[in-house]
Amino acid sequence: MAPLISAKTRPVRLADIAKAAGVSHGTASNVFARPEIVREEVRERVKAAAEAMGYGGPDPKGRLLRAGKVNAIGVATAEPLSYFFDDPFARVMMASISQACDATGAGISLVSAVNGEQLAWNIQSALVDGFIVFCVDGGSKLVQLARERKLPFVALDLDSDDDDAVAAIGVDNIAGAGLAARHLTELGHRRFAVLTLPCADAGFGPTTREQVEMALYSATRDRLRGYFAELSRVDIDVSRVPIYETVNDEKSVWAGLEHIFAGAEAPTAVLAMSDRMALHALDWLRQHDIAVPGDVSVVGFDGVPEGAVSKPPLTTIVQPIAEMGRLAVKAILENDGSFSRQSLPVELVVRASSGPSPT
Amino acid sequence: MAPLISAKTRPVRLADIAKAAGVSHGTASNVFARPEIVREEVRERVKAAAEAMGYGGPDPKGRLLRAGKVNAIGVATAEPLSYFFDDPFARVMMASISQACDATGAGISLVSAVNGEQLAWNIQSALVDGFIVFCVDGGSKLVQLARERKLPFVALDLDSDDDDAVAAIGVDNIAGAGLAARHLTELGHRRFAVLTLPCADAGFGPTTREQVEMALYSATRDRLRGYFAELSRVDIDVSRVPIYETVNDEKSVWAGLEHIFAGAEAPTAVLAMSDRMALHALDWLRQHDIAVPGDVSVVGFDGVPEGAVSKPPLTTIVQPIAEMGRLAVKAILENDGSFSRQSLPVELVVRASSGPSPT
DNA sequence: GCGTTTCCTTGGATCGATTCAAACATAGGC
DNA sequence: GCCTATGTTTGAATCGATCCAAGGAAACGC
C-alpha cells in the first residue's frame, strides 16, 4: 500500500490516481468527465484508486483554465459585503439577480471591500465571467475597475452623465423624483424637506443644493434635481427647502429629522431619496407623535417590499427592481455586445404615508 | 500598430504582451505582480504594450492554478439562490458570515440548486477554499457532497444524530424548544398547537408526531421533541396537540391557522418552529381579530431582527446567529482540524406576543 | 487472410499565469 | 585586469486538469 500522505497537504492529483490505477491521465480524466466512454472494468479500477487515495474529484482550478468559463457572475459594490444582506434595496435586487442566475445555472460571487486597494485587488482577481456593479457609492471607481478587467459588465444605476460606452441599467431618477414632488404639491403641500443619500465622504448633516450637485452618485443628484424642478415649477422657493444628508441609516435619519423639525417652519412634506430613509423617518415621526399623513406626508424612493407593510404603508416611487436584475444577468450571460444602456420607467405608488397638506 | 483582435475573442495573454514588448514572460509577469523589481524603462514599455493590446491584467484563472488558494468561501444550500436574500434567518446568518469574511478579506460564493444533479455539479465545481453548508433541507445530501470535495467545511444546524466526523455548528434545539414550551405552560397555557417546518417533500397540511419524527431535518424533529417533552412533563396530552406542517411561507402558515382554529378546541398558545412562521401567524391572527397575547400567545424560534419590531413584538428563542457565522468562517479559514462540533446555547427572549392564558 | 469498422486508450499539447535558479550585465574595490 | 557585489532578466518547470489526433485491439465482413 502506498504510504499515506500527511494530513496537512493534499497533493493527490488526477495524475496520481492514474498512475496508481495503471492508466493514462487521459483515461483517468474521462472516468470523471465522460464515464460512459471508458470500459467498465477500467472505470471501476480508477474509481477504486481514487477512493483509496482520498481523491476529491477533479479540481475545478485545473478544469477552469482549460474550460475558460467560470459559470458565475460577480456582483460588486464598494460597500461591505453585508450590504447585500442588510440593505433592503440590495436584497430585492439580489433576489431577482439570484432568480435569473438560478434559471441559467450560473453561480454568484459577492465582491466587495471597504478599503479601495483591497477592492481593486478583489475585482482583479475575482473568478467570474462578468460583473454586475452596484453603483451606490463610489460608483465610477468601481466601473473603472470592472472595465479594466475587460469582462462583460453592467452597471446598475450608473451616473447618467458618465461615459456612454459602459452598459448600464437604471431608472429615470429625475422623472421619478418629479413624480414624487408633484404628488405632494398636488396634495397642497408647500413646505418641504429633503433627506438625501450620502454625497460626500461618509458624513451626515445639513447640506446645500450645491453640495448635492457634487455628489459622487448621480442618482442623488438627479433625484434632487427632479424634486426641485417640480417644486420650482409650482413656484416654491427651493432655496429655502432644508436638505439633510444622511448615510441611509437610522441614526443619521433621526438626526436629520431632529434638525429639520427644530427649525422655525416645520415642513408638511418630507421627500426621502430611499425607502430605507423614509421608513426610518416614519419611525421617528411616530415616536414623536407627529401624525402621518395628518401632520406630515412622507414619500420614499425605491419600492422595497417593507414599504408595503410599514406603519403607515409608504407612498413611494417604485423601481422595477426585478426587471433590472433580470436584464443585468441576461446582459452578462448573453454578452452579445448589442446591449448598451437602458433606462427603465418608474412608477408612483400611493399608499397611506401621504395625504393632503394640513395647512 | 498591431492589427486589432476581433471583438469576439480575447486571446491576449501575458505571453502576447511580453512578446510585443520584447521581454520574457517572466519579466512581464513581474511587471504586474512585483513592479518594483523591474527596471522602470522596461516596466513602462510592458505597460504600454498591455494598454495598446487591450490586456485586462493577469487572468486570475491562470494565477489560481499556481497559487492554490481561491480566497473565497462557498456557502451552499439546497434551496434556490434567492433563499439567501429572502429568508430572514439566512439573511442574518449571511450578514454575520459576510462580516467575518470582510474582516479577513475573503470573498463569498453562493452555491445552490434546486435540482439535485445540478447541485452536485455546482458543489463539485465551485471555486472555493471551503464550504459552509446550510442544512435547512436535504442537509445530509449536501453534507455528503461537500465532504466528497475533501475541502474544509462546516455544517450549520446539522442533524445531531448524523455522522460525528463532520464539523458542525448548531444550537440545542431540544433545550430551546423546551424553553419555549415551558414559558407558555408557566403562563398557564394548556391548549397548544404546533406549526412545524417542512418534514416531507414540499407539501403542507396537518401532520402527526410520527411524521415529524421522520423529518429530513433534525432541527424539526428536535424542536418537536423539545416541545412535547416539556408539555408531557406537565401532563398535557400531546397526542391531542394539533401539528401543522408548513413550508415556512405565508400561504401555508395561514392555511395552517385556518385549520387549527377551525377545530373544536381553539388553542391558546401557538408554538412556531421559526420566527418567519410566527410572524406570518401574527399577521393572520391580527386579521382575524384574535388578540395576541390576549386570546392567543405565540412563541417563535430563531431570533431574527424582524421579531423585535413586529406587532406585537415576538417572544422567541434566539439563536446566537452572529456567533455561529463567525465561528463557521473561522473554522474554514483556519482549518486546523481541531474543530469538530459545537452546540451553542439558545436563549428565551420574552416580548409581547406571549401572556397569561385567557382561560 | 486481409481490410474495415468500432471501441478504448494513450500521451502530447494546451489553458494562463507564477516561481526560481541560473545567466547576464554593470559597477566598484583592490 | 580580475573578482565580487548588486541589480535585472531569462527560460524552464509547475500548477491540475481537458482535449484530441493517433494508435492498438478486438470484432466483423467477404
pLDDT tens, position by position, B89-98: 999 999 999 9
Question: How does DSSP classify residue A234?
Answer: T
Q: Tell me: the pLDDT tens digits for B44-86? A: 999 999 999 999 899 999 999 998 889 999 999 988 999 999 9
Mutate to test the interface with B, among A61, A77, A104, A338 (most CBs of B within 10 A): A61
Q: Tell me: the pLDDT tens digits for A215-273? A: 877 888 999 999 999 999 999 999 999 999 999 899 999 999 999 999 888 999 999 99
Q: Which residues contact B266 (CB under 8 A, 6 or more apart)?
A: B191, B260, B296
> Is residue B227 scored above 70 in pLDDT?
yes
Among A39-48, A260-269, B327-336, the minimum mean pLDDT is found in B327-336
The nucleotides of chain D lying under 7 Å from a protein CB are 7-12, 14-21
Work out the mean pLDDT of chain B and round it to a whole number: 89
User: Could you give the 3-state DSSP secondary structure of residue A43?
Assistant: helix
Residue with more model confidence, B253 or A214: B253
State residue A138's pLDDT score: 62
Mutate to test the interface with A, among B51, B61, B97, B334 (most CBs of A within 10 A): B61
Residue with more model confidence, B349 or A198: B349
3-state helix, strand, coil in chain B (%, to 5): 45, 15, 40
State residue A160's pLDDT score: 57
Mean pLDDT across the stretch A27-51?
94
Nucleotide nearest A12 (Cα, C1'): D16
Query: Which of B7, B64, B82 shows the shortest C-beta gap to A64?
Result: B64
> Is residue A317 scored above 80 in pLDDT?
yes
State residue A270's pLDDT score: 98
Which chain B residues are Cβ-neighbours of A80 within 8 angstroms? 98-99, 102
> Is residue B175 scored above 70 in pLDDT?
yes
> Is residue B3 scored above 60 in pLDDT?
no
Contact residues, B window 139-198, toward A, CB-based 8 Å cutoff: 148-151
Q: What percent of chain A has pLDDT over 70?
A: 92
The cell for A151 is 469582462
Query: Which of B81, B125, B149 shows the shortest C-beta gap to A102?
Result: B81
A5 CB less than 7 Å from any atom of strand D: no
> CA A39 – C1' D28 distance (Å)?
20
Among chain A residues, the shortest Cα distance to B79 is held by A102
Which chain B residues are Cβ-neighbours of A94 within 8 angstroms? 82, 84-85
Nearest CA-CA distance, residue A110 and chain B, Å: 5
How far apart are alpha carbons A332 and A164 in whole angstroms?
17
Q: Cβ(B123)–Cβ(B64) under 8 Å? A: no
Among A76-90, A108-122, A179-193, B150-164, the minimum mean pLDDT is found in B150-164
Cβ pair B95:A109 closer than 8 A: no
State residue A159's pLDDT score: 62
CATH number of B173-320: 3.40.50.2300
Topology alike, domains B70-170+323-344 and B173-320: yes
> Is residue A206 scored above 90 in pLDDT?
yes
The answer, for B288 touching chain A at a CB cutoff of 8 Å, is: no
Closest residue (CA) to C1' of nucleotide D16 is A62
CATH number of B70-170+323-344: 3.40.50.2300
Among A104-113, A134-143, A296-305, B238-247, the minimum mean pLDDT is found in A134-143
Q: Tell me: the pLDDT tens digits for B268-288? A: 999 999 999 999 999 999 999
Among chain A residues, the shortest Cα distance to B306 is held by A306
Q: Which of A37, A36, A32 is nearest to A57 (CA)?
A: A32
Instruction: Return the number of CB contacts < 8 Å for A and B.
Output: 141
> Is residue A4 scored above 60 in pLDDT?
no
At residue A117 the predicted structure's pLDDT band, cuts being 50, 70 and 90, is confident
Among A47-61, A210-224, B258-272, the minimum mean pLDDT is found in A210-224
For the domain A71-169+323-344, what is the CATH superfamily, name and number?
A: Response regulator (3.40.50.2300)
Calculated CA dihedral for residues A23, A27, A28, A34, nearest 10 degrees: -150
At residue B13 the predicted structure's pLDDT band, cuts being 50, 70 and 90, is very high
Work out the mean pLDDT of chain A and round it to a whole number: 90
Cβ pair B61:A64 closer than 8 A: yes
> Is residue B157 scored above 80 in pLDDT?
no
Cβ pair B56:A148 closer than 8 A: yes
- Domain residue spans of chain B: 14-66, 70-170+323-344, 173-320
Q: Tell me: the pLDDT tens digits for A124-148? A: 999 999 999 987 666 678 888 888 9
> Is residue B9 scored above 70 in pLDDT?
no
CATH number of B14-66: 1.10.260
Q: What percent of chain A has pLDDT over 90?
A: 70
The answer, for B56 touching chain A at a CB cutoff of 8 Å, is: yes
Q: Which residues contact A151 (CB under 8 A, 6 or more apart)?
A: A128, A129, A130, A131, B56
Mean pLDDT across the stretch A169-194?
96
State residue A7's pLDDT score: 43
> Is residue B254 scored above 80 in pLDDT?
yes
The answer, for A305 touching chain B at a CB cutoff of 8 Å, is: no
Closest residue (CA) to C1' of nucleotide D9 is B27
Instruction: Tell me which residues from 8 to 37 on chain B have a beta carbon below 7 angstroms from nucleic acid strand D.
Output: 22-27, 30, 37
Cβ pair A70:B102 closer than 8 A: no
Q: Which residues contact B140 (CB under 8 A, 6 or more apart)?
A: B159, B162, B216
How far apart are alpha carbons B146 and B112 in whole angstroms?
12
Q: Tell me: the pLDDT tens digits for A55-95? A: 999 999 999 999 888 999 999 998 899 999 999 999 999 99
Residue with more model confidence, A252 or B141: A252
> Is residue B161 scored above 70 in pLDDT?
no
